A and B are shown apart, each in its own frame.
Chain A
Amino acid sequence: MPTFEPVLLRNVGVKDSHTLAVYRERGGYRGLDKALALSPAQVVDAVKASGLRGRGGAGFPTGVKWTFLPKDHPGPIYMCINADESEPGTFNNRILMEEDPHQVLEGMIIGCYATRATTAYLYIRYEYGHSYRRLQAAIDELYAAGMLGRNVCGKDGFHLDIYLHRGAGAYICGEETGLIESLEGKRAWPRIKPPFPAIEGAFRKPTVVNNIETMACVTHILNLGVEWFKSMGIPADPKNPRDAGSFGPKLYCVSGHVNKPGCYEAPLGLTVRQLIDDFAGGVWKGRKAKGCIPGGLSMGFLTEAEFDCKLDFADPGKYRCLGLGTAAVIVFDDQTPIVDVLYNSCRFFSHESCGQCTPCREGTSWMTKILARIRRGEGELSDLEVLGDVERGIGLTPGTTICGLADGAAWPVKNALQKFRPELEDWIRNKRTSVDVLAALGGH
């Protein structure tokens, strides 16, 4: 096991780590103290200088996003923290909220100070009941300690309220403008952008949207410093002006066919192979992996031969994956039919499409139907061409849909056609079948 000392997970497993007393005893809220000694602009500069990129999937530089807020806005400015965490394979936000809610709240308070937001909504998926209760208890402690409400921590004029807002079981509420619509009490239909939330977000006011893990990183950037953060990870490729680098620690989730599924912390840039072998105890049952999904279901596939791919913001793209996503690796062994994996993926996106863009609504549903047919041994080779046509026609990349869900639906299909085509063709030619245990059940 590598010698790296966890920072984001340092309190996990410590008794009563979720309480203010234990969090403080272990050095908590020093980042906030340091932030409050600076001006808001200086805090934004520190986060910008750290190179922190959003951990929610898109990887946008956090400090830069904060500078998009209009200057001298009369307010209110809102912060929306995204704890909808529904990307299959991803569970690091849950662990942070359950085990160390104050670490997240500290980052939020710092972020609100920096951006002059006076109300923060933490949008949390309904299924996270335990996280919800832990966070609410932690927020209650902060109000009682004078660390939320008026004049936070005695800082004149810094007022902040944090409210939890529970979702109702829809993946699309994780898309930032879907989240905002849902918060406003409407159906979670993502908005056409621009305007981006920084200009016109929640309740039509400037709004910062950030992920839970991003906020946890902010806490440590303020406490341990920009240099500390930048000492980890992979610097930008000087030959690529669009590469913003991959700095800091990352929570990697690994699930599926490994011996020790779990959430592990390491500097950005760990390879898939290191994650599986050094942290997750290798592939289960002494088998070999066939491949994996590198960053939550939306990101596509890597074959076993590609496991030296680095899990940073730049490398997965070089392997034709959509990106790093949430860095949640889902491993499947060499006995898993790729058709089954692909069917599960398409069924997910078809179920979760919000339905407002026809190419996404219809495309995800067609792909699911075609794959169900192939699974039953009733596919034709021409089905693969149809899948390719559908996949290429949906998403932000071809510009036919409003949000990135459709790209996430397309990518596993795209990569499977590129990387597992011989297996798919062989399956169809030989009319191989696999059982859909749920199809027989019916129901909703």
Chain B
Amino acid sequence: MPMLSPALRERIQALFPRYPNKQAVTLPALHMVQDELRCVPAEAIREIAELLELHPAQVHDTLSFYGFFRDPDRKLGQHRVWVCRSLPCMLRGGEELLAHLCGKLHLRPGETSTDGKVTLEFAECLGACEGAPCLLVNDDCHLSVTPQQAEEMIAGLGS
């Protein structure tokens, strides 16, 4: 039983005409797989490699460069919350915001809550410094958030 569903394979293959070679589909494919499985297991790497006509080591090499992708023992929660720690946010309480959430959720940056709902991470500049401190929930940015607002936002995340 392959790990990548036929629908997922189709979505990956649909991108082939966009690029002169299949290797260029590596990042898009990794994104699709992680969106669905919340991590990229070794078997998925092998199947992506087969689809893209690459050696699995090539896919793994790319994957491991980007801190973004997770292996199964560090599987993501349903929501990924990134708190910015770069200078403009730091100057307006970004680090305190992250520390506050770590305390409330009993998590260290990078960890996932035991109910599997949230993964908390630090981020470098999210490109929204006019709204420092800010955080990203999945790929939606929230600007000028107080610790209380952030707590409520996370509590309100659906499952």
Report which A residues bind B (CB closer than 8 A).
76, 85-91, 93-94, 125-130, 132, 161, 163, 165-171, 182-188, 203, 253-257, 261-263, 293, 297, 328, 330, 332, 336, 340-341, 344-345, 348, 351-352, 354, 437-438, 440-444
Bound complex: CA of A331 vs CA of B102, how far in Å?
Answer: 28
Contact of B128 among A91, A161, A328, A443 (CB under 8 A): A91
Q: Which of B27, B88, B98, B140 contacts A438 (CB 8 A)?
A: B98
User: Could you say which residues of chain A place their CB within 8 Å of the CB of B88?
Assistant: 88-89, 255-256, 261, 330
Q: Is the CB of A203 within 8 A of B124?
A: no
A367 to chain B, nearest CB (A): 15
- Tell whether, in the assembled complex, residue A293 and residue B87 are in contact, meaning their CB atoms are under 8 Å apart: yes
**Nearest 9 A/B pairs, CB to CB:** A129-B139, A185-B26, A443-B109, A443-B108, A187-B65, A444-B110, A255-B129, A255-B88, A168-B66
Contact residues in A for B127 (Cβ distance below 8 Å) = 85-86, 90-91, 93-94, 125, 127-128
Across the interface, A185 reaches (CB within 8 A) one of B23, B99, B138, B140, namely B23
Instruction: Indicate with 1 or 0, residue by residue over B73-93, a CB within 8 angstroms of chain A CB atoms.
Output: 000000000100111101110
How far apart sit A297 and B88, CA to CA, in the bound complex (Å)?
10
Whether A171 contacts B124 in the complex (CB less than 8 A), given A129-B138, A185-B27, comes out as: yes
Over the window 132-153 of chain B, the binary record of Cβ atoms lying under 8 Å from chain A Cβ atoms (1 yes, 0 no) is 1000101111000000000000
23 contacts between A and B (CB under 8 A): A76-B20, A85-B127, A88-B129, A94-B128, A127-B82, A127-B126, A165-B28, A167-B27, A169-B67, A187-B61, A187-B65, A188-B66, A203-B24, A253-B130, A256-B87, A256-B88, A328-B129, A344-B85, A344-B87, A344-B90, A438-B98, A442-B108, A444-B109
Task: Decide yes or no: A169 and B68 within 8 Å by CB, A127-B141, A330-B87, A438-B98 being known contacts.
Answer: yes
Bound-state CA distance A126–B66 (Å) is: 11
**Which of chain A's residues have a CB closer than 8 A to the CB of B31?**
126, 166, 168
B114 interface hit (Cβ, 8 Å): no
> A437-B95, A441-B109 in contact; A261/B61 too (CB < 8 A)?
no
B124 to chain A: closest CB distance in Å? 6
- Binary interface profile of B, 92-114, with partner A (CB < 8 Å = 1, else 0)? 10011011001000001111000
Known: A90-B125, A188-B65. 15 other contacts (CB 8 A): A86-B125, A88-B124, A127-B141, A161-B18, A163-B18, A187-B61, A261-B88, A262-B130, A328-B129, A330-B87, A340-B90, A341-B87, A348-B86, A438-B95, A441-B99
Complex formed: what's the CA distance from A125 to B136 in Å?
13
Query: Closest B-chain residue to A93, C-beta based?
Result: B127
Q: Which of A126, A166, A203, A437 is within 8 Å of B21, CB to CB?
A: A203
Q: Does B30 contact A (CB under 8 A)?
A: yes
CB-CB under 8 A for A170 and B130, given A130-B141, A185-B27, A441-B102: no
Q: How far is the CB of A207 from chain B (nearest CB, A)?
A: 12
Known contacts A130-B141, A184-B23, A443-B108; decide if A87 and B128 are in contact (CB<8 Å): no
- Residues on the B chain within 8 Å of A443, using CB: 102, 108-111, 122
Chain A residues near B58 (CB-CB < 8 A): 186
Q: Are A166 and B27 in contact (CB under 8 A)?
A: yes
Tell whether B13 is near chain A: CB-to-CB under 8 Å. Answer: no
**CA–CA, A442 to B21, complex, Å?**
41
Q: How far does the Cβ of B106 sit from chain A's closest Cβ, in whole Å?
A: 11
